[in-house]
Structure formats: C-alpha cells, structure tokens
Structure 1
Amino acid sequence: MGRRRAETGAAEAVSTPRRKAHRENEPVGRHFRPRAKAPLWLRITTIAVTAVLVLGVGAAGALVFKLQNNVTTAPLNAGVKNGDSGQPENADTGALQILILGTDTRDGANSQYGSEEDSTGEGNSDVMLLMDISADNSHVSVTSFPRDLIVPIPDCKPAAGGDPVAGTPAGQLNAALRVGPGCTVAAINDMTGLTIDHFMLADFTAVKELSNALGGVEVCVDHAMYDDDGSWLKLPAGKSLVQGEQALAFVRTRHAFGDSSDLARIKAQQYFLGSMVRKVKSEGTLTNLPKLYNLADVVTKNLTIDEGLANIPSMISIANRLAKIDLANVAFVTVPYEAYVADNARVQLKEPEAGQYFAALRQGTSLTGAPATASPSAAAASGTPSDTATVAPTTEAPVYDKAIQQVSVTNASAVVGRSIELLQALSTAGFTGAWQAGDVPSVNETQVLYGADMGDVAADVAALFKIPATAVKSDPTITGVSVVVGTDWASGTAFGAVVVPPDIVASTADDSAGCLTVNPLKYYPTPFVQ
C-alpha cells in the first residue's frame, strides 16, 4: 500500500500538460494502464439487469405476500386428549402425512348447490384422503376413507372456540368435520396410530377452480352417460376432458358408476386423482415456478389449511418432494372395510386387515415394491431380531395347566378389533381361558405384565408372540398375565412383523388403462348430444 501511495503522489506532481501527454502516448511504467470506458451497450445492459433483479425480488415478495394473505387456517388437531400439533420441524425430510378433506357444505360460494338450510357450518366430509409421503421420497400412498365409516369419534375442541364437543364410541367419520377439520384429524390419528402433519379442506369451488387451473383432467367412461340424480354429469363414451362444473360433477356423483354406492364414488375419485397427478407430472407443473405459483394461488384461495402449512416454503417443499416420486409408486388404497354390524347401510373397519395396513403405513412400507428406508424410530418399533433380545421358547412341558391360566389382552394399539387375532392365537396355543380386557387409550410400547408367581406364564406368552424380554415386567397390581398391545404392534401375531394385506392397492397413478364402468341405470342413448 505504501508503494502505491508514493506512485500516486508522484503522478499528482506532474503538470497537467505532462499528464495529458502520458494519456495520449504509451503509459510510463507498467503499473499505469489507461482506464477504458465501458461501452454504452454494456452500461445499458447492466442497468437493465439490475432493475430486473430489483423488480424480480420485489415481485417475488409481493407474490409471496399475496399467497400468504390468501390462506384460511384452522387448528391441526382438535382432539381434547391428544391435541398436540405433531407437525414436522422440517418438511423436507421424514415421513409426511397430509389429510385431504372435501366438504359438502353449501355455505358461501357453494350456496348454489343446496338450500338455505344446507348453507351453514363446516358440513360433512364428502372426501377423506390421507396422503402419506415416505421418508425417502420413494413412494406415496393415498388412502380413501368411506364417508359412512363408523369409528370412535374423540372429544374435540370446536374450531370456532367454546366448550369441547363430546365424542362417541361409534360415530360416522364424515360427521367429525362438523366440529372442525381438526376433529377429523384427531379421529383418524386415533384410528390409525399415525400422527397427521397437515390437512387441506376443499369445498365445491376449490374443485372447479383447481381443474380449471390445470386446463382440465382427462377421464374415460365405457358408455355414454347422464346422471339425473343431482350431479347432472353428462359424458360421451370414451375419453373426455372435464373441468369446472363437469369436474365437480365427476367427483361428486354417487349414482353414475359401478353399483351406485359411496364406495363406487371413491373408485371414481381415485381414478380422477390418478389422471390429475399424471397431468401435473407430465407438464412439469411442480418444477415450473410460474405454473406452480398459479396452482398455489388457486389452492390458497380455495382451501382451509392448518397453521403449519400456511407458509410458502412448506408448500414448495412438499411440491419438490412429490416431483421426485415415480407415478408407479403412487398407490391408491381404500381402507379395508366390511358391513357395519348394527346397520348394513354403513361400514366398519375390517380386521385384522385394517390394522395390518395401518401398521405398514407407520413402518414406511412400500405398497408397490419400491425400496423404503425406515426411520430409526420405525426400525426400533419393528423389533428386528438383530437388535432386540427375545424370550426363548420353553423347551420343556410347562408345569401348569394353560387352559386355566388368567391371561388377558388389552388393546392399546389404536386399532379397532386388534385383540381378536391375538386371542385366537392364545386359544390355539392352549390358553383357552384367555379373554379380551377391552380397548384403552393408545400407548407406544407393547408390554406383558404379570402378577405374583406368574413369571413363567408371562415368559411363555411373550415367547408365543416373539415379544422382547425387555417388555416382560412384573406388576403387583396385576392378577395373572396381561398382554397390553401398543401402537408398535398393530398387526399380526408376531411382534414386529409388518403384514401388507393382499390386493390392498386399488390402482397407481401411472395406471391409465381402462375406463370407468357406468351404472346401467345412467346409460344415455346414442348418438350422444353434448
């Protein structure tokens, strides 16, 4: 620096004519170079680029602000007992569950679809879809729950505030939305043993606007049809592009397809979603910022979402994760069900298949054959032989009569009917006096508890189910042996085993073959007039 200052000082001492001569002729010394003036085009370009950058940052901020202001939010989990948020700290990693709800409310902009009496409150859930993104982004499952499914409904805090609303041990799942979307989240959490991270609640307008934003969704039916029972859906045989009112009619119709049941409507909704996913992926919407913004604008205007999802980075993070997943690994599933014992017009979970399926979801099991990387917590829950000490089976005949031993099974797995197959296994093994102690609030860990002088019986019961020795514990308050089934063992008779029910996948997002079967009562005579 000192030398550079000295040279500068010497230069200043030169007279003005001398300095001019230096500029006109070769410079004196190699440290002195003439300062070239930037060309006009470069200066203009630099100013323009700078302006664009400033405007771009400002516009991006304005767009984010606009999207943020579009959002309507509600609490994620309204359950009185288990109302914690459960949302992930980082939406980029870990398994992620998003509950997608469609409401049949006729409130506000939906008033054209019903009477004034209908136009109040949250309504019921017309659509209930649980999207599960695996921790390693290798696969997605989309689980449909029938609207007529009878399950326990927990006590819930209303979204609008006020006193908690009492639940019921046997309520229709779609009615939980009347208390608020957070109550549906709480009910499905209790049912599945999962912890849902986010929810999205859409009304009729959302379906129309989203289909318009995508430029229509392709569907196919095997016969020209017209549904005159409320949806007014009219389609020619073969392929059609539906959007707006037609798209809404397609996902709403309950009478147009199959056997005219709600379960046939679920199949049509899965078909529509699969086609929509294919279109979004094929057009690169999830990685195209202008398209993604347009879609986000429509979504945020027409959905109610939880507070944790009400920010643009979370939405972009989820879009980025979905963009990486192969369509063949996006599986559509209807939760295993059977006729409800008290009313054949409704359905209940079919066990043990439903419990097995929920356990597979919790363990991050792929339903389509793609490899899945289990999280540390899932690996621990699975109780694999490599890291879990198990009780050695008894090699000698027991010195007690199995048939008279007091062995009970307490269901704390959050899976309805979980005790049934375990009682059957106990009976087959000789513990014919075993009984069901009932359902209790869920616990995370399975245990075998035993009272005085029952350690050997407890060890044999644990060995039967391959329950780790660390889970066998003395409890002076227990008479006999009590098997407490936790959420870490939601299916099967071998602890830690994950069993996927056969043929559980109804379709995948890349399954574009075939057309929906039209209910013959809704056939439309040909030639078809649009």
Structure 2
Amino acid sequence: MTHSGAQREGTRPGARRAREVSGEDGSGRGGSGGGGHREPRQPRRKHRLLRWSATTLAVLILGTAGAGYLYYQHLNGNIQKGERSSGDSKARRTGPNAAGQTPMNILLIGSDSRNSDENVALGGSRDSRGNPPLGDVQMLIHLSADRESAAVVSIPRDTRVDIPACKDPETGDTYPATNNIINTSLARGGPGCTLATWENLTGVYIDHWMTIDFAGVVKMADAIGGVEVCVNQNVWDRPLPGVPGGSGLKLTAGRKKVEGKQALQWLRTRHAWGSDPLRARAQHMYMNSMIRTLKDQNVFTSGGRLMDLAEAATRSLKVSEEIGTVKKLYDLGMQLKTVPTDRITMTTMPTVQDSEDANHLLPDGADAEKMWTMIRDDVPFDAKGSKARPRQTASTEKTTKDPAAEDDQIGVLVQNATRSSTLGPVSGRAGAIARALVGEGFARAAPDTSAALSEERTLVRYPSAELEGDAQAVAKSLGIPVSSVQKSTDVSGVTVVVGGDWRTGTTYPKQSAPKAGDLPSTSDAINGSDTSRCMNVYEPYRW
C-alpha cells in the first residue's frame, strides 16, 4: 500500500504541470486550436520518467529491506551460544518488586583461551595451546529491578571456592565437585559451570552469561575507538628476574587512550599493579571509562557506530542461549543504557589470604556475604537509591500450597556448616539444632555426624517438590526465612544446613535489612562517573 500510494502522489502533480506547460485542454489538441504546430509530447516522456523512478524506488526499498534482513541474519550467525548452567545450582530467582519488576544478573567471563592463532599471538604461552581455557576475569553485573542503578562485582581469579559437579554440554565430559581457585571452573564444564559456581557461592540467581577471549577484547576495543586510562607513574609490565610473564603494557604517566592490543594488555596486567585485586580495580576503571565513552558517542542513535559495534560484539562474544539473538542482545544493551553513569558502582568481593596457600585468596566471610545479600535483596550499592525493600521473613513470605506432613513424620537431617573462610567450625551445632527441632515436635530430627561443611548462610534444602512444604515447615519453626529454603539434588531429604551466620543459639538470628550504599569498606568501590582515578605502579615495573 505504501509503494502504490507513493506512485499516485508522484504522478498526479506532474501530469497537471505538464498540461499547463503544453497548453493542453484535455481534448488532445493544442490550446490554439486548428491544425497549428503541435508542441513535443513532453507529458508522456515525463510520465514514463516518473513511472521508472517510482519503480526504481520500490526496488531500492525492497532491496534495502532484503539486505537489512540478510545482515541481521549474518549478525545472528556470528553469535556463539551455550547452555546457561551446566552444574548443580541451588540459587533461586529473585521475585518481583511491588511494581512487578525483577532485577537481572549477567556473568561476564574473560577467557584466556589460546585455541586459535590469533589468541596465541595476543596471549603468548604457545605451549598451552589446546588446553581448556581458564576464566581469568569474572564479573557479575547486577541491573536493578527499576533499571535505575547497576552494580558490578569481581571475584579475583585466584580465589579458592567450592566448584560443583558439572557436565560439559559440548563434550559430554563430567567433572566431580571440587575445591579450587575459581578460574578453573571454566575448564570443568564451560561458562555454565562457572555460573553454577557463582550461584552456589553467592546465592544469587544469574540470568545470563557472556564470555569474551583475547581476540574479542581487541575487536571490541577497536570498534569503540579507544578507552582512556590513567597511571601515576610510567609502567612497563614485563618479565623480571624470578618473575616470568607480564602483559607487555608500556605507558608513560598520565592519561592515555588505549585500544586494540594495548587495551588487552591493560586488562591483563597484574604484576605491575601488585596484586590480583588491584588488577580488578584497573579493569573496573577501564569499564567505567568505556561506558562513559559509549554514552558520549551516542552509539545507539548512530547507525554506522552501532553497526561497527554490532559486528564486533557478535564476533567477539559467546552468550548463554536464551539471549543468543541480535534483538535480545540489543534489548539488553538498551536496558543497560538507561542507567546513569553516577548510579553504576564497580566493586571487588572482599577477600582474605588463603592460609593453605599464600598465592590464593578466600572470600572474606561476613563482608562478602553482606555484598551478596545486597544483590539478592536488590539494594543499591550507591546511597542515591531508595531504601531497601523490606526483607521477607518466615512470617511474611509466601509458602507453597503443598501441605506439609505432620511434624513428627518429617525426617530432618541437620548439618554443621559453620566453618567459614575466616573462622573454624563451632562444634556441636548440628546436635544443638536437632535437639531444638525435636523440642518443636520434629521427632525424627537428627544431626549429621559427618565432617563439618562450610556455608556462609543457613539454608534448608529438600530434594524434590513433594518435600517443599515439609522444608518450609521446618524453616518456620526455627525462624529461618522461606527465601533460604532451596531445592537441591545434594540431599536425600529435608536438611538444615547451619551456616556461618548462625554460630550460637537455637533460634535463627534476625537479619537486619541492608541499607543503600552500605557497602563493606573492603569492597574497593568505584563510581561510574569518577574520572579522577589513576593506577599506582608497583615500583619494580616503573621505567
């Protein structure tokens, strides 16, 4: 309809003007009458010209639409996809707020894969070609339910954590649960295993993952056109006697724009900053600067810039399958775009040195759990947000409609998981809570006498849907919130896991609601609008 309408609007005025110029009166004769000299028949030629132009325009419109569709399909074809979770995860999705909005969590993984010539050239270590990749950069991006703020939390790659049993969806290989540094999770079942590891560590449900390798970082940095970074001293991250490796980053002091390979060097530098947590700080500074650059470029309203970024992004990223189309990635980008830079907070999970290996780190119990609680409860990391929504308690949360069995018929196993990254286990906790349950009428409650476990927060787990009501009844009797009742294949019946947050007493302690901006001082928070940050260079790497 649009095409035919355009033709009609284009031909009628032209025909009228042709009659006026030629003096035609509509009878086919000249206006002077008789057999006088006839003027050349311009109107017919103009008619033909206009019809040709309209036809050409229609072909161009259809051709452009076809090319656009083909380009869209081309971009979709660029995207690599994978299974969202390939490990046993216990996290539950956060429910909607009063306005029906839900937060979104995305795990960004930087892979050190050297399984291509390009990645070997950029990353070195030719002897590791073909080895399973490690996830050396891991960041959780939390987009608030109202889409007014965002939080980013990094976990340093050498942090020792529990990695669940995983199955690689591409090879079918299975890996048993283990306790190792978190960057090895990528090699034990792909990004889906890393996602499950994060979920079990944090209790945060993660909606999507994205991975990017060395070559992808270079492509994205080039498409953006460079990102400004800052160092307080000249830096050269190079091998030193007794300290091999180094990214090769070499910059003079001050503010510099890095792109391509140099951007990758900035993100990979560790020795010159002095530690892995400080490398996370440098990465956060880069990301904040990149976000500001993209907003300044207004790429979402610039067709050419958007196409450059779309090409680079679809060739650089591998994503979980539920966001594996250009449209879904674009929609995700538009949601992230709505967050002002001064409402973005970059942080690193608080850690302590691992007593078993000085080169490794452990989550810093209470401080780390406080950050995860803020994310689970969708509390803004900055103080500009509204107050935290009231936390649900055992008396206010919705419970399953499936009725529980009689209390004295519910079998309950109680595990002592009070050992934390910084504190040893509290002996006798499983027995104390089991006796308290018996006193509440759960006659079949008993302690698990196996070795002490480690869990930062107390949970009630159940293996299948028909036991959910039983698990909730047990939780209610102890004052444990229903949000801490989780389905898990790790247990064979209702199991109370007494965590590091419940080291004394037989009634679960009330947890105070976290406040907006109340981050642990050890989180190394950086606001997205802060342009004053510069990295200090560890003295051996100055020049």
- TM more than 0.5: yes
The match for 1:222 among 203, 225, 232 is: 232
Write the distance in 2 (CA, Å) between the matches of 1:245 and 1:497. Answer: 45
For 2:183, the equivalent position in structure 1 comes to: 174
Name the aligned partner's letter for residue 299 of structure 1.
A
Does structure 2 conserve the Cα–Cα contact (< 8 Å) formed by 1:410 and 1:419?
no
1:485 offset after TM fit, Å? 6.5
For 2:514, the equivalent position in structure 1 comes to: 498
Write the distance in 2 (CA, Å) between the matches of 1:508 and 1:520. Answer: 27
Write the distance in 2 (CA, Å) between the matches of 1:493 and 1:196. Answer: 27
1:282 offset after TM fit, Å? 1.1
Write the distance in 2 (CA, Å) between the matches of 1:411 and 1:310. Answer: 42
Structure 2 counterparts to residues 6-405 of structure 1, below 5 A: 46-47=54-55, 49-79=57-87, 81-82=88-89, 94-108=102-116, 109-112=118-121, 113-168=123-178, 170-179=179-188, 180-229=190-239, 230-257=246-273, 260-371=274-385, 382-383=392-393
**Helix, strand or coil: the match of 1:232?**
coil
Write the distance in 1 (CA, Å) between the matches of 2:55 and 2:351. Answer: 66
Superposed CA offset, 1:131-154 (max 9, x none): 111121111111101101111100
Does structure 2 conserve the Cα–Cα contact (< 8 Å) formed by 1:383 and 1:496?
no
Cα distance change, pair 85–159 in 1 and its aligned pair in 2 (3 A): farther
Q: What is the TM-score with the length of structure 1 in the denominator? A: 0.71
1:286 offset after TM fit, Å? 3.3
Name the aligned partner's letter for residue 175 of structure 1.
T
Name the aligned partner's letter for residue 520 of structure 1.
E
Superposed CA offset, 1:230-279 (max 9, x none): 2111111111111111111111111112xx11111111111111111110
1:384 offset after TM fit, Å? 9.6
Write the distance in 1 (CA, Å) between the matches of 2:287 and 2:236. Answer: 21
Write the distance in 2 (CA, Å) between the matches of 1:227 and 1:442. Answer: 48
Does structure 2 conserve the Cα–Cα contact (< 8 Å) formed by 1:139 and 1:366?
yes
Name the aligned partner's letter for residue 200 of structure 1.
M
Name the aligned partner's letter for residue 286 of structure 1.
F
Superposed CA offset, 1:377-402 (max 9, x none): x86x623988899xxxxxxxxxxxxx
Write the distance in 2 (CA, Å) between the matches of 1:22 and 1:189. Answer: 84
Cα distance change, pair 37–185 in 1 and its aligned pair in 2 (3 A): farther
Write the distance in 1 (CA, Å) between the matches of 2:120 and 2:217. Answer: 15
Does structure 1 conserve the Cα–Cα contact (< 8 Å) formed by 2:460 and 2:497?
no
For 1:511, the equivalent position in structure 2 comes to: 530
1:448 offset after TM fit, Å? 7.3
1:199 offset after TM fit, Å? 1.2
Write the distance in 2 (CA, Å) between the matches of 1:74 and 1:442. Answer: 31
**Helix, strand or coil: the match of 1:348?**
strand
Name the aligned partner's letter for residue 237 of structure 1.
A
Name the aligned partner's letter for residue 497 of structure 1.
A
RMSD: 4.5
**Helix, strand or coil: the match of 1:148?**
coil
Write the distance in 1 (CA, Å) between the matches of 2:90 and 2:372. Answer: 20
Does structure 1 conserve the Cα–Cα contact (< 8 Å) formed by 2:166 and 2:176?
yes
1:94 offset after TM fit, Å? 2.9
Cα distance change, pair 86–146 in 1 and its aligned pair in 2 (3 A): same
Superposed CA offset, 1:173-219 (max 9, x none): 10011121111011011111122111111111111111111111111
Does structure 2 conserve the Cα–Cα contact (< 8 Å) formed by 1:352 and 1:417?
no
Q: What is the TM-score with the length of structure 2 in the denominator? A: 0.69
Cα distance change, pair 44–517 in 1 and its aligned pair in 2 (3 A): farther
Cα distance change, pair 384–224 in 1 and its aligned pair in 2 (3 A): same
Write the distance in 1 (CA, Å) between the matches of 2:92 and 2:76. Answer: 20
Name the aligned partner's letter for residue 519 of structure 1.
Y
Does structure 2 conserve the Cα–Cα contact (< 8 Å) formed by 1:87 and 1:198?
no
Write the distance in 2 (CA, Å) between the matches of 1:501 and 1:419. Answer: 25
**Helix, strand or coil: the match of 1:305?**
strand
Does structure 1 conserve the Cα–Cα contact (< 8 Å) formed by 2:231 and 2:255?
yes
- Give aligned-pair identity as a percent: 28
1:59 offset after TM fit, Å? 2.1
Write the distance in 2 (CA, Å) between the matches of 1:20 and 1:48. Answer: 29
Does structure 1 conserve the Cα–Cα contact (< 8 Å) formed by 2:148 and 2:339?
yes
Name the aligned partner's letter for residue 298 of structure 1.
A
Write the distance in 2 (CA, Å) between the matches of 1:23 and 1:365. Answer: 84
Write the distance in 1 (CA, Å) between the matches of 2:387 and 2:65. Answer: 38
Cα distance change, pair 354–420 in 1 and its aligned pair in 2 (3 A): farther
Name the aligned partner's letter for residue 207 of structure 2.
D
Which sections of structure 2, spanning at least 5 residues, go unmatched? 1-24, 32-42, 240-245, 400-411, 437-446, 463-467, 486-494, 503-507
Name the aligned partner's letter for residue 207 of structure 1.
V
Cα distance change, pair 516–307 in 1 and its aligned pair in 2 (3 A): same
| Stretch deviating more after TM superposition (235-244 or 497-506) | 497-506
**Helix, strand or coil: the match of 1:102?**
strand
| Stretch deviating more after TM superposition (319-328 or 154-163) | 154-163
Write the distance in 1 (CA, Å) between the matches of 2:422 and 2:74. Answer: 48
Cα distance change, pair 338–83 in 1 and its aligned pair in 2 (3 A): closer
Cα distance change, pair 409–349 in 1 and its aligned pair in 2 (3 A): farther
Write the distance in 2 (CA, Å) between the matches of 1:38 and 1:505. Answer: 75
Write the distance in 2 (CA, Å) between the matches of 1:419 and 1:495. Answer: 22
**Helix, strand or coil: the match of 2:525?**
strand
**Helix, strand or coil: the match of 1:276?**
helix
**Helix, strand or coil: the match of 1:512?**
coil
| Stretch deviating more after TM superposition (183-192 or 93-102) | 93-102
Does structure 2 conserve the Cα–Cα contact (< 8 Å) formed by 1:72 and 1:303?
yes
Write the distance in 2 (CA, Å) between the matches of 1:37 and 1:419. Answer: 96
Write the distance in 2 (CA, Å) between the matches of 1:323 and 1:214. Answer: 15
Which sections of structure 1, spanning at least 5 residues, go unmatched? 1-18, 26-35, 390-406, 451-457, 472-481, 525-530
